Amino acid sequence: MSDASAPQRSTGGALLAAPAFAILAVLFIVPMILLFVVSFWRVRNFALTPDMSLDAYTRVFVTYGDVLVSTMANGSVTALICVGLGFLFAYAARFRAGRWGDALILVAIITLFGGYLVKIYAWKAILSTDGFLNAILVATGVSAEPLDTLLYNRGAVIVALVHFLLPFAILPIYGQLRSVNDIQIEAAHDLGASGRQTLIRVIIPQCRIGLFAAFAISFLYAAGDYITPRFLGGGSGTMIGQFIAQEFSTRFNWPAGAAMSFVLMAASLLVLGLVGILFVRRKPS
């Protein structure tokens, strides 16, 4: 290889990444900056007016403070359930299912690509008063009358979100469990560790990153979703995303929508940061 061509090749290499990053810059970074700028503007006489006002942010905390808190709570509960069930499922696929392990992962992948709206619609059909679950409950005699309390509440939103996000939790955890060394587990057994001790002291410490990734993905998505609560949430299941969409597109209050978006992202990062710190601190040395 000649010396002259080496630097030329590396600049050529960097240029290859240019289109993707140009798209990122123009369609993502610039819009985020614009959105941030707009969050300090005001709406006067139905027209956006440039300003340096904190009105939109005050409005977020005064009007939507409660919703923000319950959104973070719903997101955390959803993410915790996803991590718990996801670990159970991934653990079974890796250690308990034998040759069926791959089939279980295929189930997770099918669910992953099962369609976002389709899943929400399916849960409405399952949980509604004249729906699938009520038909089973009545037919088996568990309930004398169809229950009208299954749908339009926080529980319905969390169930549907867990269904949607569980595959996103399973896959990173499984990815890490796969690289856990069988020899270490056998060694732990041979040295007299119980199944529970092996789990806590050998297996879980090795998939810490996967568990945190599973929590982060589930939490971020659940906290930012607005279609699931809008369609299944009713009164008690409302979440901040619904109001962002409403302020932005129905009321044309762009500053409020923009400010709420940044508060949502900041609050989400804060929750993830706290969970991350707890996670790191509990690490046994």
Partner 1 sequence: MRQFRALLWFAVIAMLVLFMLGPLAIVVVFSFNSGALVSLPLTGFSLDWYRELFSSDEFWAAFRNSLAVAVPTALLATVTGTMTALALTRKSASASVPLLTALSVPIMIPPLVVAIGLVVLYVRWLSIPLGIGAVIGGHLLLTQPLVALVVSARMASFDRVALEAARDLGATPWQAFRYVTLPQIRAALVGAALLAFAISLDEFIITIFTIGSGNTLSTFVWGKMRTSLDPSINAIATLLLVVTIGSTAIALRMTRYRG
Task: Give me the amino acid identity at 217.
Answer: I
In the list 19, 141, 192, 235, the residue contacting partner 1 (rule: CB under 8 A) is: 19
Among 90, 87, 235, 73, residue whose Cα is nearest residue 161: 73
Examine residue 58 and tell whether it contacts partner 1 (CB under 8 A): no
DSSP 33-44: HHHHHHTT-EEE
The residue count for binding partner 1 (CB under 8 A) is 79
In terms of CB distance, is 136 or 274 closer to partner 1? 136
The least CB distance from residue 190 to partner 1, in Å, is 18
Does residue 54 belong to the site contacting partner 1 (CB under 8 A)?
Answer: no
Show contacts with partner 1 in window 100-119 (CB under 8 A): 104, 107-111, 113-119
Q: Determine how many CB atoms are found less than 10 A away from the CB of residue 71.
A: 26
Residue 164, φ and ψ in degrees, nearest 5? -70, -40
Site for partner 1 in 29-48 (CB under 8 A): 30-32, 34-35, 38, 48
* Distances from the Cα of 97 to the Cα of 94, 102, 104, 108, 166, angstroms: 7, 9, 8, 14, 19
28 vs 61 by CB, closer to partner 1: 28
For residue 213, give the amino acid letter.
A
Strand partners, 49: 42
Helix axes 101-112, 154-178, angle to 10 degrees: 140
The piece of 54-62, 83-91, 179-187, 200-208 that touches partner 1 (CB under 8 A) is: 83-91
- By CB under 8 A, tell whether 130 contacts partner 1: yes
- HSE-up of residue 43 (Cα within 13 Å, Cβ side): 14
Structure tokens at 134: 């009520």
Window 238 to 277, contacts with partner 1 (CB under 8 A): 241, 244-245, 248-249, 254, 257-258, 261, 264-265
Q: Give the residue with the Cβ less far from partner 1, 113 or 281.
A: 113
Residue 209 touches partner 1, criterion: CB under 8 A: no
Q: Contact region for partner 1 (CB under 8 A) — 9-17, 54-62, 76-84, 197-205?
A: 9-17
By CB under 8 A, tell whether 4 contacts partner 1.
no
43: alpha, beta or left? (left if phi > 0; alpha if psi -120 to 50): beta
AA letter at 145: E
Residue 217 C-beta: closest distance to partner 1, Å: 8
Q: Does 231 bind partner 1 (CB under 8 A)?
A: yes
The stretch near partner 1 (CB under 8 A) out of 22-30, 62-70, 178-186, 274-282 is: 22-30
How many CB atoms are closer than 10 A to CB 49? 11
Please report whether residue 64 would count as binding partner 1 according to CB under 8 A.
Answer: no
Give, as one character, the DSSP assignment of residue 95. I
